[in-house]
Structure 1
């Protein structure tokens, strides 16, 4: 991330900077001390951002009714609006212009691992202005933003109509949490664990629709796409429209890579280092489960059994490793597990036995 062109508001919004201010570690200390040493002209800007973030004191608030992470999310959204951003700029400028000869007192302000001297009066006035503007601009959003959660059990799918009339088909063993301020303002956002197919409606106010899954953000206005978040991998397949992926490239910073997708693109993000692969596919195959059709396009049996485990909740034991390497190609028009197991068993001459919550697979 190139921080050289950042202003105070940019630093306030930056996750890696927030982490250093609120939860300093040797890694963040080393980075920011080195960066400030290389860019001493940015010290005034750094001070402004530090004061604003550290002014947000949430102590004494009922933790059951107050979500600090949600507050910070809404701060980001609020500051990004042109009106509030202009007000914050004015607050800083008015605070800085009030320095006079009578203000001679200096104090030492403790940073996470570094101390700066600065004039008491005008910086504290600027801090107070920012603090009040942020709270006034965000508090209403925080208190009026509600979330609703939908979930499915093993072997169950569910179709959900969201308040904006977008449709979500939720696959088995999956969960979404949708955030809505009830006023059609801000972004439409939801968190996904598992798999879902989205048909997003474009609305008159051009609200973005953002799906967050395992650190990956899928940003759209109106489109159809499938997101699968299983086993440490996030897979996105675009059927129609356009979407923008924001993928974190460094787990210790807020650096992200933006990736535009066209219809037919499949992007998979895997591992802690968020490795990205991209290829062109038939998107209908990846959303076929919404029609109770399972399409296996020359995939290893190991992946078939992983799908069964994720969807139906069975633990699977394969007694011969060679079985998992066999390639399977089929289109099965059913969601009935017994029929799926029967087809796999006959195709490869296998014994598949149910033992409670476990499936044991062996050669005949």
Structure 2
């Protein structure tokens, strides 16, 4: 039996305990994304178990409140480890119960409490815990970040950040997929930085959309101001509302002015297309819904489609494509085969 054949017999709990599965769900590892996408295509009957396992992993990976009981215990373990590694640690002092009657003991206890709290805070800043927020295929979800900012994640997307956002630190998140940000400005003008591949997006207080998939980054500014910079680049690109910037790895920024509402339709649970090629539409369906779409007629991919359809009822889209382009669309689980109902006419011979 091949090593990967074991997954055919896995239940949701088995998937949730698998290291490769975690790398796919939490870290969005590209190799694992390819593996699990192929696995689902070859084993569509495992779709329900996979979705249950994803929900279980994501629930276990949700951010915890700062200084929870478990977090305090973890910090104390780190403190004890660090203290034990110091040369000749000073032995702990033992006080008599009679000391509690002394007037200065209350003050001493308060000072000790402050010192302990300070130590916990210092360790929290120096030893942050990574937090991942994610959505599954076909899911949209809004999250509130530690500073009060909000992010609405589109399907099959995630952001990562560390839980040590202090009052004097820049706020940084790492995005894979697509998300709409509504940033809470801070009095001391802390920057909010979104890392999307090689693109760094710096803001103070604004609303904007970022799409980061397959080494391409697309940024739309709705309100406020942001700047885009590439790693190791000198001059950032400043955006104004309505600017839409595209970056492909190894190229430069491309900017155009657009209608933001068209690109933000997904926030309202809609899919909006304007003269979009079917090839791009099918790629979106793979990204957001894990649909594996194939066609025997490559000419279909170059056809253009304009329209707005519900994001939670793809049958409307498929009916529109089927009737508008005389197609035969057959779906089995997550696999979709698209054919032309009538063969394309032969091109006239050239002399």
TM-score (norm 2): 0.60
Give 3-state SS (helix, strand or coil) of 1:275's partner: coil
Q: 1:263 aligns with which of 241, 244, 253?
A: 241
Q: 1:290 aligns with which of 241, 263, 267?
A: 267
Q: Is the Cα–Cα contact under 8 Å of residues 165 and 171 in structure 2 kept in the other structure?
A: no
Q: Is the Cα–Cα contact under 8 Å of residues 247 and 274 in structure 1 kept in the other structure?
A: no
Give 3-state SS (helix, strand or coil) of 2:266's partner: helix
Q: What is the aligned partner in structure 2 of residue 146 from structure 1?
A: 129
Label 1:256 to 1:354 Cα distance change in 2 as closer, same or farther (>3 A). Answer: farther
Q: Supply the distance in 2 between the matched residues of 1:275 and 1:362 (Cα, whole angstroms).
A: 37
Q: 1:184 aligns with which of 150, 161, 167?
A: 167
Q: What is the aligned partner in structure 2 of residue 169 from structure 1?
A: 152
Q: What is the aligned partner in structure 1 of residue 340 from structure 2?
A: 363
Q: 1:208 aligns with which of 188, 191, 210?
A: 191
Could you tell me how far 1:274 is from its partner in structure 2?
3.2
Give 3-state SS (helix, strand or coil) of 1:338's partner: helix
Q: Write the deviation string for residues 309-331 of structure 1: whole angstroms up to 9, x where unpaired.
A: 11100111121111111111101
Q: What is the aligned partner in structure 2 of residue 318 from structure 1?
A: 295
Give 3-state SS (helix, strand or coil) of 1:323's partner: helix
Give the count of matched residue pairs.
224
Could you tell me how far 1:256 is from its partner in structure 2?
4.5
Runs of 4 or more consecutive aligned structure 1 residues displaced over 2 Å after TM superposition: 139-147, 182-185, 254-257, 337-340
Written as runs of structure 1 = structure 2, the 5 A alignment for 1:48-59 is none
Give 3-state SS (helix, strand or coil) of 2:211's partner: strand
Q: Supply the distance in 2 between the matched residues of 1:186 and 1:172 (Cα, whole angstroms).
A: 30
Give 3-state SS (helix, strand or coil) of 2:220's partner: strand
Give 3-state SS (helix, strand or coil) of 1:148's partner: strand
Label 1:267 to 1:182 Cα distance change in 2 as closer, same or farther (>3 A). Answer: closer
Q: Supply the distance in 1 between the matched residues of 2:176 and 2:299 (Cα, whole angstroms).
A: 31
Q: Write the deviation string for residues 116-139 of structure 1: whole angstroms up to 9, x where unpaired.
A: xxxxxxxxxxxxxxxxxxxxxxx8
Label 1:230 to 1:182 Cα distance change in 2 as closer, same or farther (>3 A). Answer: closer
Which segments of 5 or more consecutive residues in structure 2 lack a partner in the other structure? 1-76, 79-121, 342-351
Could you tell me how far 1:357 is from its partner in structure 2?
2.7
Could you tell me how far 1:255 is from its partner in structure 2?
3.2
Label 1:361 to 1:256 Cα distance change in 2 as closer, same or farther (>3 A). Answer: farther
Could you tell me how far 1:140 is from its partner in structure 2?
5.1
Q: Supply the distance in 1 between the matched residues of 2:306 and 2:175 (Cα, whole angstroms).
A: 29
Q: Is the Cα–Cα contact under 8 Å of residues 178 and 189 in structure 1 kept in the other structure?
A: yes
Could you tell me how far 1:171 is from its partner in structure 2?
0.5
Could you tell me how far 1:285 is from its partner in structure 2?
1.1
Give 3-state SS (helix, strand or coil) of 2:253's partner: strand
Q: Write the deviation string for residues 38-84 of structure 1: whole angstroms up to 9, x where unpaired.
A: xxxxxxxxxxxxxxxxxxxxxxxxxxx99xxxxxxxxxxxxxxxxxx
Which segments of 5 or more consecutive residues in structure 1 lack a partner in the other structure? 1-64, 67-138, 249-253
Give 3-state SS (helix, strand or coil) of 1:362's partner: strand
Q: Is the Cα–Cα contact under 8 Å of residues 161 and 168 in structure 1 kept in the other structure?
A: yes
Could you tell me how far 1:333 is from its partner in structure 2?
3.5
Q: Could you say what the CA RMSD is over the residues aligned between the two structures, in angstroms? A: 2.2
1:348 partnered with 2:331: no
Q: Supply the distance in 2 between the matched residues of 1:315 and 1:307 (Cα, whole angstroms).
A: 11
